[in-house]
Structure 1
Amino acid sequence: MKKTILNIIFAVTLITYSHHTQGQAHNVSAGYQKPTDPLVINNLEQWQDMKFGLFMHWGTYSQWGIVESWSLCPEDEGWTQRKKEHGSTYYEYVKNYENLQKTFNPTQFIPEKWAKAAKSAGMKYVVFTTKHHDGFAMFDTKESVYKITSPNTPFSSNPRANITKEIFDAFRKDNFKIGAYFSKPDWHTEYYWWSYFPPKDRNVNYDPTKYPERWSQFKNYTYNQLNELTSEYGKVDILWLDGGWVRPFKTIDPAVEWQRTIKTEQDIDMDRIGTMARKNQPGIIVVDRTVPGKWENYVTPEQAVPDHTLDIPWESCITMGDSFSYVPNDNYKPTKKIIETLIKIISRGGNYLLNIAPGPNGDFDKAAYDRLQEISNWMNINESAVFATRPIAPFHIEDYYYTKSKDNKIINVFHIQENNKEYVSTNQFEFEIPNTIKIRDIKLLGSKERIKYQIKDGKIFINTSKNKSTYASVFQIVLI
């Protein structure tokens, strides 16, 4: 099968913890393998039309307000540092971390509230962390007692205790595509971090080739949990698999620093998993992120936006605050920055998966709801230029970004002011247009003014009198 080789350098525009840009990043330099299943192709096309999604990292770790899972990892990196008040030794820390299960009781959990706010902001799909690297399942798995529905967890007595099911059901009712994030590595199970050996880093702590029966147990454990998620939770559209160090050894990219730490075979048999997932959910998109091949149906730059268009499906996952997980008083990005990032991403053909982390009480910070409402106000005016669009040359020149409608009847031109703290409504615009187009009309979205324009030397010159745009101005060029 033909593979497209991409040499991509990411322009990292939004950075939080270094582990999110280096610890799990990939350079998307390997070959992308286009799906051949018509149902998957159709699902991907629909997903590419959606443009804007909600990502949620949530688990017991929210009670400490720390980075998700990574403090359990015995690597000496900034994102794995442990606070002494949570344990003076590594093993004391791990015990106290695992005991967070016994106090996790997010009684303000109302997923319909999230779905309403996300839908209003124009989000069309959701990806939720059903299980992160720490192994705590936010669903009612039969494979482990380390889960939200265990009697060891106070929230288990709540009628909405099966959090994953409740989230999927609530968002599905609002017509979201449903994405299940799932960590392939599991730092809690004996099948991955065997207590006979101390963990050394993020990888499996024994040699799977030397202990094949134990590795086989881990593969079955993972397979069974993914079978549960794709057969017992209604329609699931995306299986978003994280933890790319669990991979066939032959797929390691030595150009990526963290992949050079993988010293042994960790083939989890993605053919078996993917085939099962597609049997349970025909047409499901599988994202075995950072592992090139038939099961990485789209690529996922993390906390970064590619600096040019890509000819494959892709999605930037970026935090609204500084952290993927809940941190008290997090530094939430201004709405202007979020909208500018959305415009950059869609002009380059990607989707924007914006992460908001629920807190230990089961709700978002007020600041997150405020951002979503402000995005909603802008989206209500400009959504026709965002959804079901594709890139078009010249893509991006200075403060102008371009998209087109799928039927090629409209060109959308976004004007931003990236260097300004606030967007200053301007009345004069000057931007390039493709030489071959013939214009029927030009509209400024949000304005009833009849736009007057001139064309000279491949540029359009526009003067307006009633531009009241916030965050970004959007022109729609209607073609003959």
Structure 2
Amino acid sequence: MVHTRKINILLVLFTSICYLSGYSQAHNVSSGYQKPSDPQVIANLETWQDMKFGLFMHWGTYSQWGIVESWSLCPEDEGWTQRKPEHGESYYDYVKNYENLQKTFNPTDFDPQKWSNAAKAAGMKYVVFTTKHHDGFAMFDTQESDYKITSANTPFSTNPKADVTKEIFNTFRNDGFKIGAYFSKPDWHTEYYWWPYFPPKDRNVNYDPTKYPERWGKYKDFTYNQLNELTSNYGKVDILWLDGGWVRPFKTIDPTVEWQRTIKVEQDIDMDRIGKMARQNQPGIIVVDRTVPGEWENYVTPEQAVPEHPLDIPWESCITMGNSFSYIPDDQYKPTKTIVETLVKIISRGGNYLLNIAPGPNGDFDQAAYDRLEELASWMNVNESAVFATRAIAPYHEGDYYYTRSKDNKVINIFHLSEGDTYQKPSSFEFTVPAGFDIKDVRVLGYSGKIKWSKKQDKVTIQSPKTDLAYASVIQLKSK
């Protein structure tokens, strides 16, 4: 169940979800959103909401097996991750072989400038990179663990670009992107979370922190120290995107949410300590403690889904370009038309679109991903004024039409979408004008000729221009 401060919203799936996305990764949108009070955070959120479109990247040693990220290590999730026999007959053999992937990880084609160039051309304005997923393998030069890409145990450690987090952050920042650090609060590699004294049963800590407070204290320090590294040693970081919402104070569990009912022990990691440290290191940083309502969930993050209606709080849908968040050989990438439609639906409801592309074991995207980004770039070149620095406006969505407005309310953008594999432009556009808006000028983006239009009461009819428009049409109304 999804909530805003005032109304309940039903989350519906906009695109089909492959089993690789996993029901175990489903996230509710938290109730009880708490608006930030720090002026720098408020300003950062406002700028972030202007950006609309970001790049998400899940990448780790698991890309070598072409499997779902981390989850195959979790006994609870064997049903949908399906461990392959050739990777280990027993669970413990599998874990050993998985951890040994560190010893062969050598993504020599890694070139973050290539990614940044393609993402920027496609209109993406911020990047969120998985610095550490649940498996605990650090894609940054942490001093808290040797299970990291810069360890001598990892072949890529001899590469000048071995600290891939630093390379990605520096490259994208230099190209004008906001920088987001994804970080998993649970860490299934360290003995302070999954203590070898007990077998792991599910995704949660495998001992009771209230019975072993010293061990849990070490885990809290371990996590704090890694996050201190990320917010101290990697230049300006704008977003701290914390995953693993089962690591939370027990009192915050919502018993109406199925996956939260599986949390049986206290896992308070002291977010006040973490958040204050992050803000001291990075004034104004947006903190996203996913699904844990309160001071440290500055925006909410529906996953592989788009809210059916606008939300009155800052939000972002993270959705894969393929079927999986991680690299899968021969993954099926969504058509560019679908990506454009998803973007339009998200921004018309006031959200941001975080589109995930997974690098492969060689350190590069599949060519299909670059093809989609290039096609997006062509569409964005024509229609970007209707996308960026916009906000939602009633009626939001009517039939095939979706609405955004400029922040000064002087421009209204109406997107027309169509069903099917290819975009079908109607002979005429007919839609409702938002209440109180007096039209001075009408444009169809991508067409420079004169537009024939008429208005009757609150309805506008526009004769379609004789021009080819890809994926969606955008009508732009300017006020008197």
Partner Cα distance (1:79, 1:38) in 2: 44
Please name the residue that 2:213 is paired with. Answer: 212
Q: Which piece of structure 1 moves more, 4-13 or 188-197?
A: 4-13
For structure 1, the residue ranges without an aligned partner over 5 or more in a row are: none
Q: CA deviation at 1:22?
A: 3.3
- 8 A contact 2:71–2:77 mirrored in 1: no
* Partners of 1:73 and 1:53 in 2: CA distance: 29
What's 1:327 paired with?
Answer: 328
3-state SS of 1:394 partner: coil
Residue in 2 that maps onto 1:357:
358
Q: Distance in 2 between matches of 1:224 and 1:285?
A: 19
Structure 1 distance, partners of 2:403, 2:375, is 22
- Closer/same/farther in 2, CA of residues 51 and 76 from structure 1, 3 Å limit: closer
- AA in 2 matched with 1:196: Y
**Cα deviation digits, residues 176-199 of structure 1 (max 9, x gap):** 000000000000000000000000
Deviations 1:131-184 (A, max 9, x none): 000000000000000000000000000000000000000100100000000000
Deviations for 1:370-407, whole angstroms, at most 9, x for unmatched residues? Answer: 00000000000000000000001110001000000001
Q: 1:64 to 1:21 in 2, by over 3 A?
A: closer
Q: Match of 1:328, as an amino acid? A: P
1:471 alignment counterpart: 471
Aligned mates of 1:33, 1:21 — CA distance in 2: 29
> Structure 2 CA distance, aligned partners of 1:156 and 1:233?
18
The one-letter code of the counterpart of 1:395 is Y
Q: CA deviation at 1:21?
A: 6.1
Task: Show CA shifts across 1:209-243 (max 9, x none).
Answer: 00000000000000000000000000000000000
Once residues 199 and 6 of structure 2 are traced to their aligned partners in structure 1, the CA distance between those partners, rounded to angstroms, is 39
SS at match of 1:392: coil
Q: Distance in 2 between matches of 1:215 and 1:391?
A: 44
Deviation at 1:80? 3.0
2:132 is equivalent to residue 141 of structure 1: no
> How far apart, in 1, do the equivalents of 2:346 and 2:324 lie?
20
Question: Percent of counterpart pairs with the same letter?
Answer: 74
Aligned residue pairs: how many?
Answer: 477
1:351 corresponds to which letter in structure 2?
N
Q: Structure 1 residues 227 and 76, CA, compared in 2 at 3 Å: closer, same or farther?
A: closer
Equivalent positions of 1:257-406 (< 5 A) are: 257-406=258-407
Deviations 1:47-79, CA, capped at 9 Å, x for gaps: 000000000000000000000000000114543
Partner of 2:441: 441
- Offset, 1:16: 2.7
Contact 1:44 1:285 in 2 (8 A): yes
Q: Which runs of 5+ in 2 are unaligned?
A: none
| Alignment RMSD (CA, Å) | 1.1
Quote the offset at 1:20 in angstroms: 4.1
Letter in 1 for 2:436: T
One-letter identity of the residue aligned with 2:203: R
Label 1:303 to 1:123 Cα distance change in 2 as closer, same or farther (>3 A): same
- Tell whether 2:421 aligns with 1:421: yes
Tell me, yes or no, if the aligned pair for 1:427 and 1:466 is still in contact at 8 Å: no
**Which of structure 1's runs of 4+ aligned residues deviate more than 6 A?**
none
**Mapped pair 1:166 → 2:163:** no
Contact 1:72 1:134 (8 Å CA) reproduced: yes
Q: Distance in 2 between matches of 1:479 and 1:196?
A: 68
Letter in 1 for 2:428: Q
Relative to the length of structure 1, the TM-score reads 0.98
